[in-house]
Structure 1
């Protein structure tokens, strides 16, 4: 190990195994092989539930809102989800292989300190999604049951905080419980819709429009692409020898099936019932099946969304601690995770309570900008992992600015800048800004696609001069140290 290593790299095993029901002991540090207790079978259901709530239903409103018919909305949404989930699923395979949170691994492309550039975008996105989720839940529950928005905000925030504090295992556990509770309800509703028992009009407006079709595709694709910065956070407890294809398949199937299902449901609600609010529409369609069913399925969807907020908070904590550690050595203790999470929870609660209806439009625009910021990162990270370094990294060097990856990754940062600035003429931010090229193509949002291609090509060209063979000695040294850590008996380490 390098002598100028920070205190983040700690080869000692956790004092308490993270799989015995307590607070998780690992955060931004490496997960040793003996603590890898995850199972591939858990990845599919986990990401299935991640999209199994009424926020996903609202994605199905995009096409109909622009005049797209039900059939074309479902087709476009399906294609978009399948495309966007590919990026998410390939990132998932990195967690098991490296045993690290996603943003720590990104130091290989952007540098030990340079990674802060993308950390800022990811942190804002995590907090932003929790703000949007909170406001949507608060307004929906007030409209349906008359519940106090303040009480809903506090209650869901405390639940998300608790899940994030306990961490990886409890998130997987609660997601499984919520899936068992909500899946039968959505099956009943879907069967009722197909049999005509959920109401709805037979005749509905809508036709084909290339602009609307492209907008629905972009919204659906970007929905799962935004999972890319943190999907590895939840696969890093899988055994290192787990087949990448198994992980990719499990995540892809889980995240895509639920999203396609609920986007199609949202399209039906929008075209057949004229719905514009996901939760209210879910409530109305449920009650059309039988009285009280609407409340049941709405609350199940709220529970799934609150659990997803815990997922966002957990990864936001990892992101913030990684950022701090990039400039000031941080020992990843339970105290630092709890303090960070309390601060993040207070932040999204304050913003949520201060927002008005118009402010939500501003926030959605900000989240779109964050997507534009994240897309170049995902392109660079995947190209580096699968084509440049082919999964071979000196893990211990990711924990020091003096390692082989350096403090500032010039190639990664430059490719990122080129990719992002190339998207500006394609920006589509309704009511705020539409790029010159976007105006010429009818306001179709393809900025994210431009960012993906340009960033990937730029990074590939820049890394042609990178001598990856020179990294071999550091990788071998790192593997020796990891092997030594893996062979150490838990009992000898006081576990």
Structure 2
């Protein structure tokens, strides 16, 4: 039985994986983007990020400022990646073969795959600790249920992720708004802080970096969810939709988290939200906490979906595979087992786990996002021969030395400025950190160095030859599109 002739229930499962989406299958809608990314951040993970600054003595006001600046930087990068989806109709990591090569992209895929797994491990820890603190639920049972649910959502794929996120948003948004208004009106409890909160550069940059990392870590798969949009969708509208959705929700809940930490003395974000909501009236906190947990579980499904596409891209780089539904499902199941096992082995506190994961992801992804965006917007300006990205002997090469060099140089320049949180019994502080008063600017260094390095190296590219190859590629894609339509 072919995948196209299966039962109606199975046919609901997305057919495509890492292949190009023909124009005839571009059924995505622009207005779906903002709700998707709003709810992607409108969940429990965002709240503990607001604990980071206050945990280092940063005041509520300065935490809000740091979060706003960090989100502006991180979400800008993320939103610009999103505009690549409609133009190219490809998963983000397939597109990255143009900068890093058919096999060279595996180096970046390892960093990306770490991001997916780290997110879901952290989400699993957060759900277990949060629901235990709020309701006394067994964290191990929570982990199993959340893991299975996330895997099922990822298996059903692109359209079901969009549906689940919109549904959860419609329900959770008004209720969380009520909690927030209750806080502003002084109905959520809380008291004047007993500890002193003020300003320090170390705390400010820690909060800023965590906020920036939050949305930069979406960058490797944001276009996976925009690639079904029509090719003529205006890039500015895609960028604006993704930016407003992702930044708006994150800022709201990060500031809410800071208030819970400072004014309510919360040590767990979900438990704090639960208490504040119930203080406003009735069992509001029960419902809002559960919805926030469900949204985080749905985000785990989003991560599993993107992670599976990365795994398939890595395999395809060395052994060409048929990009089928079955291959995507198997990849999801393998990732599911991996994150569940690692998550069950984590013993650290939830907030510490969040900060560590975000810091590591930021260090790894910044050199990639700099290289990819510079190539797309300043070097090749969105012009790619898509069919060449699927050929090991294509014009983009097996190992693209320019992109790999830019990534490596950027990451190496980060190391002296790194301030790694404690990992078990191990920590690391670069030798340049003391010279910048203990402030973590490693990712900013990596961003600048990788961008400049790639711009310089890309001057030797033969863009005229690439334009000819793109013309041939466009003709081949037109024939594929016509065949698909019939």
Distance 1:460 1:14, change over 3 A: farther
Structure-to-structure mapping, 1:199-278, within 5 angstroms: 199-202=189-192, 205-278=196-269
Q: 1:378 aligns with which of 344, 359, 369?
A: 369
Contact 1:60 1:73 in 2 (8 A): yes
- Separation (CA, whole Å) in 2 of partners of 1:235 and 1:41: 11
Matching of residue 191 in structure 1 with residue 162 in structure 2: no
Return closer, same or farther for 1:451/1:462 CA change in 2, 3 Å cut-off.
same
The answer (yes or no) to whether the contact 1:126–1:313 under 8 Å persists in 2 is yes
The separation in 2 between residues aligned to 1:20 and 1:346, in whole angstroms, is: 22
User: How far off is 1:441 after superposition?
Assistant: 2.0
- Residue 199 to residue 363, structure 1, CA distance change in 2 (3 Å): closer
State the shift of 1:210 in Å.
Answer: 2.1
Distance 1:363 1:300 in 2: 20
Structure-2 change in CA distance of 1:21 and 1:48 (3 Å): farther
**Structure 1 residues 62 and 453: CA distance shift in structure 2, 3 A:** same
**Partner of 1:480 in structure 2?**
475
String of CA shifts for 1:43-85, please: whole Å, max 9, x gaps.
Answer: 0010000000121011111111111111111111111111210
Q: Is the 8 A contact 1:157 1:349 kept in 2?
A: yes
Q: Return the alpha-carbon distance in structure 1 between the equivalents of residues 24 and 210 of structure 2.
A: 40
Query: Would you say 1:31 and 2:21 are equivalent positions?
Result: yes
2-structure distance, mates of 1:266, 1:74: 10
State the partner residue of 1:4: none
Question: Which stretches in structure 2 are left out of the alignment for 5+ residues?
Answer: none
Number of aligned residue pairs: 479
Q: In structure 2, how many angstroms separate the alpha carbons of the residues matched to 1:310 and 1:366?
A: 18
Aligned residue number for residue 134 of structure 2: 144
Partner of 1:328: 319
In the alignment, which residue of structure 2 is the partner of 1:68?
58
Q: Distance in 2 between matches of 1:262 and 1:359?
A: 16
1:91 to 81, 89, 93: 81
Contact 2:210 2:359 (8 Å CA) reproduced? no
Residue matched to 2:446: 451
Counterpart in the other structure of 2:97: 107
2:378 maps to what in 1?
387
When residues 125 and 233 of structure 1 are mapped into structure 2, their CA distance, relative to the original with a 3 A threshold, is same
Structure 1 partner of 2:110: 120
* Alpha-carbon contact 2:257-2:269 (below 8 Å) kept: yes
CA deviation map 1:338-383 (0-9, x unaligned): 1111111111111122222269957853552232111100000000
Q: 2:213 touches 2:358 (CA, 8 Å); kept in 1?
A: no
> Where in structure 1 do 4 or more consecutive aligned residues deviate above 6 Å?
13-16, 18-21
Shift in Å, 1:254 = 0.5
Give the alignment's TM-score, normalised by structure 2: 0.95
SS in 2 for 1:326: helix
Q: Give SS of 1:433's match.
A: strand
Mapped to 2, the partners of 1:79 and 1:206 lie a distance apart of 20
1:297 corresponds to: 288
Partner of 1:10: none
Aligned to 1:425: 416
Aligned pair partner of 1:168 in 144, 150, 158 = 158
Q: Secondary structure at the match of 1:436?
A: coil
Cα distance, 1:489 vs structure 2: 6.0
Of 437-446 and 76-85, more deviation after overlay is shown by: 437-446
CA gap 1:362/1:66 in 2 versus in 1, 3 angstroms: closer
Which residue in the other structure is 2:433 paired with? 438
Question: Quick check: 1:351 aligned with 2:342?
Answer: yes
TM-score when normalising by structure 1: 0.93
Contact kept, 8 Å, 2:385 with 2:469, in 1: the verdict is yes
Q: Residues of 2 paired with 1:273 and 1:23: CA distance?
A: 44
Task: State the distance in 1 between where 2:481 and 2:150 align.
Answer: 33
Aligned residues: CA RMSD: 2.0
Alignment partners' CA distance in 2, 1:245 and 1:360: 35
1:275 CA drift (Å): 1.8
* Secondary structure of 2:294 counterpart: helix
Aligned to 1:469: 464
In the alignment, the residues of structure 1 paired with residue 267 and residue 429 of structure 2 have an alpha-carbon distance, to the nearest angstrom, of: 24
CA apart distance, 1:20: 10
The answer on whether the counterparts of 1:15 and 1:25 sit within 8 Å (CA) in structure 2 is no
